[in-house]
Amino acid sequence: MAQQSTAYVPSGRMTGARKRAIREAMTGYLFISPATILLTVFGLFPLFYAFYISLHRWRIKKGPFLGIKNYTKALGDPIDIFWFLVGVALLFLAWFIWRNMVKEHRAWAMALKFLAVIILIVGGWAAIAGFGRMVDSGDRQMFESFVITVFYAVGVVPLQLAGALLLAVMLYQNIKGKDWYRMIYFMPYVTITVASAGVFRAIFSRRPESIANQIFGLLGVPPQKWLQEPHGIWDLIFGHFGVNLKQVLLGWGLDPFLVFILLGPSLALISIMMYNLWVFIGYDAVIFLAGLGSIPSDLYEAAEIDGANRWQIFRHVTLPLLSPTIYFLTVITVMGVFKAINHVLVMREPAARGTVDTASLYIFDQFYLSTRFGYASAIAMVLFVVILLLTFVQNRIAQRRVFYG
Amino acid sequence: MASSTSTIQSKTGAQMAEKQPVSFWHRYKVGRILLYLALTFGAIVAVTPFVYMILGSLLTRGEMMLRKLWPRDPIAGLQNYVQAWNEANFNEYFVNSVLITTITIVGMLVVCVLAAYAFARIKFPGRDVIFGVFLATMMIPETILLIPNFLIVNRLDKLMRPIGLPWLNNWPSLTIPFMASVFAIFLLRQFFTTIPDELWDAARIDGAGHVRFMVQVVLPLSKAVLFTVIIFQFIGSWNALVWPLVVTSKPDWRPIAVGLYSFISEAGPELQLMLAGAVITTAPVLILYFFTQKQFTEGIATTGLKG
């Protein structure tokens, strides 16, 4: 640090201004030093430390160096991982060729497009086959925890954002008692997670008189086991009509892991997703409301003069100008799903047989209950890479779609 | 209680709509009534779990067995709170949470205000790069930091135990790692940059340095944003579950969220006691929220805009 500040000072006499600049810089470093030290120790260094831990056998105490063994235990044989990665790379290559050739109409372009399709098929096959073998030779439960996380994200993100946007647009109208509504919608977010999740445990209990069973009973749904129901949602729906979907799919010779995906999220997970919606829709709505408030009203007036109807105004004025907020909330929500742990910890029942264990919770279990520090760190690193890739993809999409006014 | 007020609100709203000239968006009263119905429905959904929690916490054991929803004698039901308070050992947990939250907030304010001030108003080489690294650490999920941080805290515990400052089962592990909140630094810096330079020039002519300017001019101007930052930290500390669970093995320093969690998962209490426990843990935050809800929601709303 000191070296950097002297870089400002060439050799020779120090003028008053230089002295002052150095003093200023030293004050700056002094001011940020507590935060820098704390962040380095507890925020940045642990990332590298986690990688170091993941390369060892580490059960409470450090054991021998294992290299990538923890990773192959989780992800499967290196050769399978290799084929999976080759497949993914080919898919990207096919997409790249196709994108560049799509506007060309000459013969060689057609040939390249044909090539892209072949690469797509080969790549897709390699990726799927490689992944299937990874699941077989790796930690099936870990893969399931990632599938559960994806279920969670796919179920929650669109519903949460759409619901919040709807609420915000309704609240943005000229209505009485706006502050009251806003205050009430925001209450779930403020509540202590353990407490509200505990209450939801009672609401989604398997008793026939539980609140969930009474409300869904009004809609004609027979009493369910909710948080204690490990069966997938499609399995339950087909089962209601007397079809054992799981047996049918297994009878077709499908891989059990594929069947697990096809049967959908368990009702227990769906209960937790409903809790998640309850907590965050109001929070997202308050942020959307602020976003709506920042859209200048003359844009609406201009659109009105141009004869746009309400839907057109919403579609072509409100939505584009709201896109930074939508992007921000999407990122926050996806990150939130990957971090989801506290409420799942409270709401999971042994009877749900691990169908609600998100990736974060699986890591926590490996670490806290099984004391496999090395292995848990390896999965955590995998999760980190997945989150980085996801953020990268979201960024790419945002660059094209988000409009910063 | 809150749900009934909201229905009254919506009714008066609908009546008003009949008298007043209608706005641009809603030419028809039907639309307006539907709007209020939808908003009220949302409010009922938001509030029902709270109502259920409070009503259920006041049921007697017999009423709970008979699956009643409304307590016949709410005063007698208050007995549940006494029982839950004693059985779950909330006395100790409550004090712990207050201490942990206070220490964290005070430390966080000192650390983050200093850093944010430097990033906003002091020129030094590498400032923007360092700030960028700060922001980047926000992208690292806590799940990944959990295990290494546990080992780091263990090491610090061994190092500092001889000088009388053990980290495990003690306040440092529960507070110090949270004092450097990048989110708080970001928000504060954002606000500090909007303070006009003329104020700084005037202060310098009066012979004030950075510290005096910060304490006497910047901080009094930043009450709203400081409040937002404090609220966020308050909720975060009061809510923390996994980290306190990992770094404490005895109830000595366990915060209330962990207390409630172990009450639910280990004691397997009767439902009315669990609900009473939930009310006890939530009450302080909700009370704070009701008194400050305007600054509260607005503070949070602005964070979304800047992000």
Read off the CATH number of the domain in which B119 is found.
1.10.3720.10
Whether A329 contacts chain B with CB within 8 A: yes
DSSP letters spanning A191-254: S-HHHHHHHHHHHT-SSTTSHHHHHHHHTTPPP--GGG--SBHHHHHHHHTT--HHHHHHHTT-
For residues B272 and B189, membership in a common domain is answered with yes
Which of B51, B83, B115 marks a domain boundary?
Answer: B83
For residues B34 and B140, membership in a common domain is answered with no
Taking CA atoms, A139 is separated from A40, A72, A362, in Å, by 33, 9, 11
Mutate to test the interface with B, among A184, A213, A341 (most CBs of B within 10 A): A184
| Contact residues, chain A, for B115 at CB < 8 Å | 31-32, 34-36
* Contact (CB<8Å) A28/B137: no
Looking at the predicted structure, is the pLDDT value of residue A257 above 70?
yes
For residues B119 and B207, membership in a common domain is answered with yes
Helices A319-339, A373-401: axis angle to 10 degrees equals 170
CA–CA separation, A33 and A150 (whole Å): 40
Tokens at residue B23, please?
């706005």
Which of B30, B56, B83 marks a domain boundary?
Answer: B83
What pLDDT does residue B26 have? 52
Q: Collapsing DSSP states into helix, strand and coil, what is residue A30?
A: helix
Looking at the predicted structure, is the pLDDT value of residue B304 above 80?
no
Q: A361 to chain B, minimum CA–CA distance in Å? A: 9
How many CB atoms neighbour CB A103 within 10 A?
A: 7
CA trace torsion B221, B222, B227, B232 (10° rounding): 180
For residues B193 and B97, membership in a common domain is answered with yes
Whether A47 contacts chain B with CB within 8 A: yes
Longest dimension (CA), chain A: 92
B300: nearest CA partner in chain A = A287
| Contact residues, chain B, for A349 at CB < 8 Å | none
What pLDDT does residue B267 have? 67
For residues B56 and B90, membership in a common domain is answered with no
Domain of B30?
Answer: 2-83
CA–CA separation, B183 and B229 (whole Å): 8
* Contact (CB<8Å) A47/B148: yes
Mean pLDDT of B272-297: 86
Q: A8 to chain B, minimum CA–CA distance in Å? A: 8
What pLDDT does residue A232 have? 84
Which of B56, B83, B110 marks a domain boundary?
Answer: B83
CA–CA separation, A224 and B18 (whole Å): 44
Q: For residue B131, which amino acid is it?
A: F
B277: nearest CA partner in chain A = A195
For residues B43 and B161, membership in a common domain is answered with no
| Contact residues, chain A, for B42 at CB < 8 Å | 167, 181, 185
For residues B291 and B252, membership in a common domain is answered with yes
For residues B189 and B158, membership in a common domain is answered with yes
B16: nearest CA partner in chain A = A176
What pLDDT does residue A374 have? 92
Q: Which of A5, A187, A383 is facing B46, going by the closest CB pair?
A: A187
pLDDT, tens only, B38-80: 999 999 999 999 999 998 888 887 777 777 777 777 787 788 8
Judge contact between A363 and B143, C-beta under 8 A: yes
Mean pLDDT of A264-292: 91
How many structural domains are present in chain B?
2
Residue B7's pLDDT band, with cuts at 50, 70 and 90, is: very low
Whether A214 contacts chain B with CB within 8 A: no
Q: For residue A236, which amino acid is it?
A: L
For residues B13 and B152, membership in a common domain is answered with no
Looking at the predicted structure, is the pLDDT value of residue B307 above 70?
no
What pLDDT does residue B6 have? 42
For residues B77 and B117, membership in a common domain is answered with no
Whether A2 contacts chain B with CB within 8 A: no
A171: nearest CA partner in chain B = B39
